[in-house]
A and B are shown apart, each in its own frame.
Chain A
Amino acid sequence: MTRFRIAIIGAGPAGFYAAEHLLASSRTVDVDMYDRLPTPWGLVRAGVAPDHPKIKSVSDQFAEIAAHPRYRFFGNVEIGRTVDRGALLARYDAVLYAVGARAERLLGVEGEDLAGSLGASDFVAWYNGHPDLAGLEPDLSGTHAVVVGNGNVALDVARILLLPQHILERTDMADHALAALARSTIRHVTILGRRGAAQAAFTTSELREIVGIDDLSVTIQSDDLVAPADLSPMELRRVQRNLAVLEQARGAARAGSQRSLAFRFLRAPTAIRGDGRVQEVEVGVNRLEPGEPGVRAVDTGTRETLPADLVIRAVGYRGCALPGVPFDETSGTIPHLAGAVLSGEREFVAGWIKRGPSGIIGTNRACAVETAETLLASLSPTGPRAVPARAIEDWLAGSCPDHIDDSGWSCIDRHERSMGQACARPRVKLVTVQDMVAAARRQGVGTAPHSGPPGP
């Protein structure tokens, strides 16, 4: 029986759904999944907001996929840094990139790089304990924050800034972020959208959640909350529901609250200003014109000024090129046909780096299945042959001695969960690669049976 071995690069949702489909195939496929971090689960660990444990519980599915006997995990291995593309292609029948989109899209306005102006991707990674951003130390000593963008990431960031500490304390938010948010004096958050309320990409559940925060005053500045007529029935349903939530929130504006949230639509930053650090945002007032598709925002020339001690840009993520792999600079994606990399060599692509940074976790399932189908159809019994499982372990032991395998990750996972158990949190995250590698090596750490319920 011909047995194939596939390398999946990136242990996030797209990678896991691809792995699941490959492992379930009637052809015998082994999957080795690589990640540049010692920990798997991608944005489920480092992106999904810590106060969304139900969404985070999708990781149980990933753990189940990872329990498959033909699956292996190799963390703390970065393609292009510790290991190169050629070395993978020489050892595997196919390589599937599911690396996501780790960079941020920029606003392209003056002052964007002032101190106090952050990308949402960095801020989110910081509060979620991603090792790359654990040292971000955002300055939360002001009172006013401006969040630019009208997607769920903007709502996540605004909500994290506004939630009372007792809610955050029950989550797996990184300890450094919990401490910083406890000291935060940010009380007023403005969310800017360059188009109208009807064009906002928020999902209704996220919108309901933020306007429902206790003791939060919500204001909505928008000319009208009417859905355009040219939407598909499905879009219309979502938009009408969003508008209803906003309408209701506007009607229920509370006076005397300590914290406030303002939605300002048809407003885009035109400059970020300050003496050495952010002090104000100059905002251009837009109007809508028919565009392709839908409507586009056009600057009317009118300007407003908003006070701002913190600016967080949440206008989208952007994919990064992998050394030696074709890349479309315009879209920030790897060009492909049904998941097969165009001009690639036994290379495939799934998730955000394939279709761009949009959609929710489940969107990656259909996306990854398409790629896995294309990959499976390409496997030829007479084609290249992967090297044996053991040879790959030997190679990694030599080329990346600090790589983390399944048992290493299990040690990290148990350690974090047992630390969390002691303080009634889902887990306490390790936030440096060094600590993760150390925990992975301390076999048995965190596995001591608990003699009773956690103490006071």
Chain B
Amino acid sequence: MDVLDRACIKVCPVDCIYEGGRMMYVNVDECIDCGACEPACPAEAIYFEEDLPEELRAFSDATRDFFTGLGSPGGARKLGKQSHDAGPAASRNA
């Protein structure tokens, strides 16, 4: 959150990592679980769902909530940066 390094976008083979206002969101419906983004992230902010530490659970819900209304846009570059956020990043005091 609040880093937006974007290195992950460059290696995603299906362009499924979308940019919100304060963080990046992986679209789990479009993701093919290849794992390319995980070592690319300098902030170590990407996890396979089964490895997500309990204290970060809220971010798992956030990646779903972020796409409410967007669905599966089929490519982050086509869609462009979004101004909204979901989960902890949408909370004013986060």
- Whether the Cβ atoms of B34 and A366 lie closer than 8 Å is no
Interface size on A, residues (CB 8 A): 25
Q: What would 6 more interface pairs be, CB under 8 Å, given A205-B48, A234-B39?
A: A17-B13, A55-B32, A60-B14, A233-B44, A362-B11, A362-B37
Verify if B12 is at the interface (C-beta below 8 Å from A).
Answer: yes
- Whether the Cβ atoms of B44 and A234 lie closer than 8 Å is yes
- Whether the Cβ atoms of B44 and A237 lie closer than 8 Å is yes
Partner of B48, one of A57, A60, A204, A362: A204
Partner of A61, one of B10, B11, B14, B39: B14
Shortest beta-carbon distance from B47 to chain A in Å: 9
- Whether the Cβ atoms of B34 and A360 lie closer than 8 Å is yes
- Whether the Cβ atoms of A54 and B32 lie closer than 8 Å is yes
Verify if B51 is at the interface (C-beta below 8 Å from A).
Answer: yes
- Whether the Cβ atoms of A362 and B33 lie closer than 8 Å is no
Shortest beta-carbon distance from B46 to chain A in Å: 10
A-contacting residues of B (Cβ < 8 Å)? 10-15, 32-37, 39, 44, 48, 51
Which of the listed residues B13, B15, B48 has the most CB atoms from chain A within 10 Å of its own CB?
B13
- Whether the Cβ atoms of A362 and B15 lie closer than 8 Å is no
Which parts of A224-252 form the interface with B (CB within 8 Å)?
233-235, 237-238, 241
Shortest beta-carbon distance from B83 to chain A in Å: 24
Chain B contacts for A361, CB-based, 8 A? 13, 34, 36
- Whether the Cβ atoms of A369 and B36 lie closer than 8 Å is no
Cα separation A204 to B51 with both chains bound (whole Å): 10
Cα separation A233 to B38 with both chains bound (whole Å): 12
Shortest beta-carbon distance from A46 to chain B in Å: 17
Q: Name B39's closest neighbour in chain A (CB-CB).
A: A234
Cα separation A233 to B10 with both chains bound (whole Å): 21
Chain A contacts for B51, CB-based, 8 A? 204, 241
Partner of B13, one of A61, A234, A235, A369: A61
Shortest beta-carbon distance from A354 to chain B in Å: 15
Q: List 5 A-B contacts (CB under 8 A).
A: A55-B34, A61-B13, A205-B33, A205-B35, A362-B36
